[in-house]
């Protein structure tokens, strides 16, 4: 097999690095609406990807002939899998047809992401054989350099540029097209090569132009749908990653989701808040402040596009209050502002709160931005019996910071319910002590509590 010029070899290797890590990033994003973004989803996904990549390295090392043909074939198959299998339509269809979601997840890993990693992992070991005028170490080192450089640039450009400005579908299409270009570089000129590469490109563009009805950003998929709920007149819902995030209707005054009505009543009627500063972590549909001029609201959400989407497609009006695009915990750490109330309403998917927003350190950070007599309100989606380990441990974590809080289950007949937790800022809580017959301090504790 004659040596292949360096430029096309390293270009192909660069494409492999760009698209392999790109496929991993896209896969993690496409899984969010269906599986959430918790560590128990991301870590196995990365692990399975690396395992498939390692198996690809091993398979590539065993190839002894037809080096360009093998890699070209791999690129063409990987382009098809990337351009179609990672598209939003395909992922939605997979999770719609396979239940429970864990089975669909395994199908996605085994049928789409794993094969892409395995095919692309063969690239560097195989193409190193074509650099015949270089030492083995030099050839593999240069190949790994360009592959890793492609991975670096792919991770940054796809997540920070392409997904942010053009959407997830554009990132999928870009990776599929790049792999098709790599196939054409390897095969050289010829009408069959050109026809094959262009066919894959057209298929990739077509599948990813057939967008889901959702509005896609780098962080979430949004969809406004009709909704019927108690007392609603022509109600509509804003769905975030396939989960209901906000409700509004055309009544006068409008009717919102039950938990929003509950929290508005708490702030305005029970607490009598007027001209107070209220922080909302997780913007949703901006309904807490809708037609509510009595207080000043600051919304913090990680998705910079959520306000424009809510105003244009859901509220059909300007959202009241300030908006800051930032991670909730990052904002709490950096801000110097203080608030009369903080509402925590952060979800990446139905009943899935990002892991760093449930820890004791996060709840301590919410105390830092509260006025001395401020109010923490958390909207949690938990089992209505509050019996699962997650429910009990999450509530215990909050109360370890704030002391005893009010816990109100709004839909007691449902399996999953909105649970509104209300805590007052104040002195750090004392460790609880039990009243027992042997040492009953009830009278003493009652006296010092007055």
pLDDT for position 211: 60
Residue 203 lies in a domain: yes
How far is it, in rounded angstroms, from Cα 441 to Cα 435?
A: 6
Of 323, 315, 320, the residue nearest 254 (C-alpha)? 315
Given a contact cutoff of 8 angstroms between Cβ atoms, the answer to whether 147 and 17 are in contact is yes
Please write the tens of the pLDDT for every residue from 244-303. Answer: 889 999 999 899 999 999 999 999 999 999 999 999 999 989 999 999 999 999 999 999
Residue 216 lies in a domain: no
Report the CATH number that the domain containing residue 409 is assigned in CATH: 3.40.50.150
Residue 1 lies in a domain: no
The full DSSP string for 56-78 is: HHHHHHT--S-HHHHHHHHHHHH
Same structural domain, 168 and 299: no
pLDDT for position 354: 82
Same structural domain, 263 and 390: yes
Per the structure, the complete domain to which residue 359 belongs is given by 246-424
Q: Can you list the residues of the chain whose pLDDT is less than 50?
A: 1
Residue 218 lies in a domain: no
Using DSSP, state whether 371 is helix, strand or coil: strand
Residue 383 lies in a domain: yes
Same structural domain, 284 and 371: yes
pLDDT for position 243: 81
Same structural domain, 53 and 188: yes
The full DSSP string for 333-353 is: HH----EEEEEE---SBTTB-
Q: What is the DSSP letter of 440?
A: -
pLDDT for position 1: 47
How far is it, in rounded angstroms, from Cα 299 to Cα 307?
A: 9
Residue 117 lies in a domain: yes
Same structural domain, 91 and 139: yes
How far is it, in rounded angstroms, from Cα 288 to Cα 277?
A: 13
Same structural domain, 374 and 261: yes
Last residue of one domain, picked from the residues 166, 194, 211: 211
Residue 378 lies in a domain: yes
Using DSSP, state whether 5 is helix, strand or coil: coil
How far is it, in rounded angstroms, from Cα 355 to Cα 277?
A: 27
How far is it, in rounded angstroms, from Cα 373 to Cα 128?
A: 67
Same structural domain, 193 and 272: no
Same structural domain, 119 and 261: no
How far is it, in rounded angstroms, from Cα 290 to Cα 285?
A: 9
Given a contact cutoff of 8 angstroms between Cβ atoms, the answer to whether 283 and 220 are in contact is no
Instruction: Classify strands 322-325 and 296-301 as parallel, antiparallel or unpaired.
Output: parallel
Same structural domain, 257 and 188: no
Given a contact cutoff of 8 angstroms between Cβ atoms, the answer to whether 408 and 262 are in contact is yes
pLDDT for position 229: 84
pLDDT for position 137: 72
Number of domains in the chain: 2
CB atoms within 10 A of CB 104: 20
Same structural domain, 265 and 397: yes
Same structural domain, 39 and 182: yes
Residue in the block written with tokens 């549909």: 285
Report the CATH number that the domain containing residue 113 is assigned in CATH: 1.20.1250
Same structural domain, 54 and 167: yes
Residue 395 lies in a domain: yes
């Amino acid at each position: 097999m004659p040596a292949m010029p360096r430029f096309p070899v390293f270009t192909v290797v660069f494409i492999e690095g760009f698209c392999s890590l790109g496929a991993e990033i896209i896969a993690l994003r496409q899984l969010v609406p269906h599986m959430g973004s918790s560590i128990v989803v991301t870590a196995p996904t990365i692990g399975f990807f690396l395992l498939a990549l390692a198996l690809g390295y091993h398979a590539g090392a065993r190839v002894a002939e037809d080096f360009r043909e093998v890699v070209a074939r791999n690129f063409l198959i990987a382009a098809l899998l990337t351009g179609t299998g990672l598209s939003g339509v395909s992922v939605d269809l997979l999770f719609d047809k396979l239940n429970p979601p864990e089975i669909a997840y395994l199908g996605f890993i085994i049928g789409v992401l794993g094969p892409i990693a395995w095919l692309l992992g063969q690239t560097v070991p195989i193409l190193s054989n074509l650099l015949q005028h270089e030492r083995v170490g030099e050839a593999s080192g240069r190949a790994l350099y360009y592959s890793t450089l492609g991975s670096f640039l792919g991770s940054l450009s796809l997540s920070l540029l392409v997904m942010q400005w053009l959407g997830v579908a554009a990132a999928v299409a870009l990776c599929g097209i790049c792999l098709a270009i790599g196939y054409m570089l390897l095969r050289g000129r010829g009408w069959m090569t050109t026809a094959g590469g262009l066919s894959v490109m057209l298929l990739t563009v077509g599948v990813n132009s057939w967008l889901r009805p959702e509005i896609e950003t780098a962080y979430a998929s949004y969809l406004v749908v009709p909704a019927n709920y108690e007392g609603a007149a022509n109600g509509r819902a804003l769905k975030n990653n396939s989960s209901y995030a906000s409700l509004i209707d055309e009544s006068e005054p409008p009717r919102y989701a039950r938990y929003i009505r509950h929290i508005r009543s708490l702030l305005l009627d029970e607490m009598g808040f007027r001209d107070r500063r209220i922080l909302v972590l997780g913007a949703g549909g901006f309904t807490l402040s809708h037609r509510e001029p009595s207080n000043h609201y600051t919304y913090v959400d990680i998705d910079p596009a959520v306000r424009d989407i809510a105003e244009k497609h859901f509220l059909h009006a300007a959202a009241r209050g300030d908006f800051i695009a930032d991670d909730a915990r990052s904002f709490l750490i950096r801000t110097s502002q203080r608030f009369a109330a903080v509402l925590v309403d952060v979800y990446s998917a139905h009943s899935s709160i990002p892991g760093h927003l449930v820890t004791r350190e996060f709840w301590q950070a919410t105390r830092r931005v509260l006025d001395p007599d401020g109010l923490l309100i958390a909207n949690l989606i938990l089992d209505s019996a509050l019996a699962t380990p997650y429910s009990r441990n999450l509530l215990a974590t909050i109360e370890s910071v704030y002391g005893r809080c009010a816990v109100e289950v709004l839909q007691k007949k449902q399996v999953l319910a909105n649970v509104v937790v209300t805590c007052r800022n104040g002195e750090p809580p004392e460790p609880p002590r039990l009243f027992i017959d042997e040492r009953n301090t009830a009278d003493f504790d009652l006296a010092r509590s007055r």
